[in-house]
Structure 1
Amino acid sequence: MASQQDLASCVRAALDEYFKDLDGQPPHAVYDMVLQCMEKPLLEYVLNRAGGNQSKAAEILGLNRNTLRKKLQQYNLQ
């Protein structure tokens, strides 16, 4: 069974790869980049898991339904 540590390890490995690929170039806006890379697939996955039910997806995510709707619009997932 996957754990939070497994997920954290995947994020660390991806960041290691990102910084390696920069090849000496300065990093920029890493926080926003990581959030966008993670948030959209997370929202898609959970919404699919909830059968498209936004209230259920919001509950699974621990978000207010209005916050979820705003995020879905942000990523053009509606």
Structure 2
Amino acid sequence: MSQQQQSIETCIRDNLDTYFRDLDGTEPTGLYDMLVKLVEKPLLDVVMTQAGQNQSRAAEWLGLNRNTLRKKLLEHNLLK
């Protein structure tokens, strides 16, 4: 695992620890979907910016079908 991957993983773990601490014993619901949406939007936004808004290039970088990427961009209101 690269240093960058460890850094991202550590950041996610730290934030999840804080999230659970802030819940103060309250049980979360829909945690998986919430987390995926929170990570997916900035991921798509940054990748699209780095790819110069080229959906084909961004889809390739993400390992997604272009149509799947377009659907996700629409879901997150990221089409420019």
What is the TM-score with the length of structure 1 in the denominator? 0.94
Shift in Å, 1:5: 1.5
Indicate the residue corresponding to 1:62 in structure 2.
63
Indicate the residue corresponding to 2:32 in structure 1.
31
How many percent of aligned residue pairs carry the same amino acid?
56
CA distance in 2, matches of 1:36, 1:14: 15
Indicate the residue corresponding to 1:19 in structure 2.
20
How many matched pairs? 78
CA distance in 1, matches of 2:17, 2:33: 17
Task: Give the counterpart letter for 1:26 in structure 2.
Answer: E
CA distance in 2, matches of 1:56, 1:2: 25
- 1:4-35, Cα deviation, whole Å (9 max, x unpaired): 12111111101000000001211111101110
CA distance in 2, matches of 1:59, 1:2: 23
CA distance in 1, matches of 2:43, 2:3: 15
Q: Please, which runs of 5 or more residues in structure 1 have no aligned partner?
A: none
Indicate the residue corresponding to 1:75 in structure 2.
76
CA distance in 2, matches of 1:64, 1:8: 25
SS in 2 for 1:3: helix
Q: Please, which runs of 5 or more residues in structure 2 have no aligned partner?
A: none
Q: List, as ranges, runs of 4+ consecutive aligned residues in structure 1 with deviation greater than 3 Å.
A: none
